[in-house]
Amino acid sequence: MHTIPRQIEAVLRQELARRQFSRTEVGHSLKWCRFFIDFCLKSGSSPREPDSIPLFLQKIASKGQGPELQQQARTAVQILQELLPQFRKGVEVTSNEGKDEMVVQPEPVPAKIAVKRKGIQRGEIAKETGPAESELSWEVLYHRLEDCFASGQYARTTRKSYLGHLRGYETFLAEADSKEVSSESAAAYLTYLARERQVSASSQNQAFNALLFLFRKVLDQPFEPYGVQRVKRRRYVPVILSEEEIAMVFSEMEGTSLLVAQLLYGSGLRLTECLSLRVQSLDFDQLRVTIHRGKGGKDRAVPLSKVLVDDLRAQLKQCRTLYEEDLAEGYAGAFPPETGSPRKWATRMKEWPWQFLFPQENLTQVPEKDELRRFHLHETSFSKRLKAAIRRAGIHKRVSAHTFRHSFASHLLVHGYDIRSIQEMLGHSDIKTTMIYLQTVPTLSKKEMQSPLDFWKLG
């Protein structure tokens, strides 16, 4: 895809900021402008001509983009067209059937990027320093990184992980007294993690993915880190609790923490998925829990145990009381999902179906908007209570919230469930990830989706 010329992108960013576009909206607007330029070059139309906008909108409509996204695209490209006349002299112009037309050429991909730690303000693009090298600031790179995050479906944990690894790469370059962001220096950093820091294979892979994202999405460069010393991945055997051990842990928990633990095991949820559940996630008629925007941005349905229905209804009743109190106090709603336009969620977050199933005890102040919102129970809060319950139960295995998910999969296999069915319930993209549970349990025929809690025969 063709890129927006730097001088145009800088002015476009300033204009979007002046119109008070959010960071997410800026990312989406830049994306639509890139699509628009690419469309014009391929169709032979001019980015300057107003007639090219309806043609572009027809094109994206034919690709299945709905009215809301079409309006988002229309707004972005109209702003771009308003800005283009001031670049008539600064951008290469050729003749096309007797008309002056801006020809937007993709900028040559620099072989190396020199990054300055200071000296360039956010949003400012530095001057070219040579035919094979350009100079940016880390502030600009991080700003572009946030734009890429905003225009894609990236979870909060993914963003945090990538940002942490890129800051580690920045520190590595500074300590090496180098400004060069290149595949060679990235390879040296990955090898440094293996030799000097002695990180695990998964940590090195996370760093690799963060650098891959930086080069391909942010810098629009190929990423070829040759000669990297890779950490050897150890054979992973997940910790599994027996049904008796899980019952012992449950007996040492109460209230909301117990209900969260029962859902983790009974539905095979990740902790972040469980705590992010909203009222509309529960389907008591079909005994299903729907996970929206799980790991990898995927949706899936998992079983809801009959054992938990009454307790969940009681939890909803408590949530309803808290919700009505929040409305009376004029709160701004629950925190919205991480993806999507803020305007889309503006009114929905005050609606009952969008409230969190496990709300935090206190409202959270949002400084930049001077408003109060309700967040969900924090992961750390539950983990502390689980750790205390494990200690009181006298269990000496290395247990975390994720152990319930491992036990969910293992116990389903014991009861004869097919590995493919379990893969679907766990939301694994690769069957190899699910295969770790097959080390001692044979694969049997596929059965109807069910919760392992319902297999229990207790008193």
pLDDT at 339: 65
pLDDT at 216: 87
Place of tokens 């409230």: 355
270 annotated active-site: yes
pLDDT at 114: 58
Helix (H, G, I), strand (E, B) or coil at 353: helix
295 annotated active-site: yes
The runs of H, that is alpha helices, within 112-228 are 138-150, 156-175, 183-192, 201-213
- Beta pairing, strands 300-303 & 364-366: unpaired
pLDDT at 446: 52
Contact partners, residue 150, CB within 8 Å, separation at least 6 = 23, 24, 25, 26, 27, 28
405 annotated active-site: yes
Contact partners, residue 181, CB within 8 Å, separation at least 6 = 112, 113, 114, 115, 173, 214, 219
Are both 6-102 and 238-459 of the same fold?
Answer: no
pLDDT at 207: 92
Report the alpha-carbon distance of residue 23 to residue 35 in Å, rounded: 19
pLDDT at 459: 57
Which of 144, 270, 374, 411 is catalytic? The answer is 270
Tokens of 37: 């330029």
Question: Rounded to the nearest 5°, which phi and psi values hold at 289?
Answer: -120, 125
Closest among 92, 100, 130, 114 to 5, alpha carbons compared: 92
The runs of H, that is alpha helices, within 308-418 are 309-328, 342-345, 379-393, 401-414
Which of 295, 300, 344, 446 is catalytic? The answer is 295
Which of 48, 179, 292, 428 is catalytic? The answer is 428
Which of 169, 192, 323, 437 is catalytic? The answer is 437
Element (H, E) at 134: strand 133-137
Which of 2, 112, 402, 415 is catalytic? The answer is 402
The runs of H, that is alpha helices, within 348-427 are 379-393, 401-414, 419-426
Residues of the chain below pLDDT 50: 89-112, 116-134, 440, 442-445
Q: Is the CATH number 1.10.443.10 carried by domain 238-459?
A: yes
Closest among 156, 145, 291 to 217, alpha carbons compared: 145
235 annotated active-site: no
300 annotated active-site: no
428 annotated active-site: yes
Which of 405, 406, 411, 417 is catalytic? The answer is 405
Stated pTM of the model: 0.61
pLDDT tens digits along 205-259: 999 999 999 988 888 888 888 878 888 877 778 899 999 999 999 999 999 999 9
Domains in the chain: boundaries: 6-102, 112-218, 238-459
Task: Report the CATH fold assignment for 112-218.
Answer: DNA polymerase; domain 1 (1.10.150)
Pick the CATH number of 6-102 from 3.40.390, 1.10.3470, 1.10.150, 3.30.70: 1.10.150
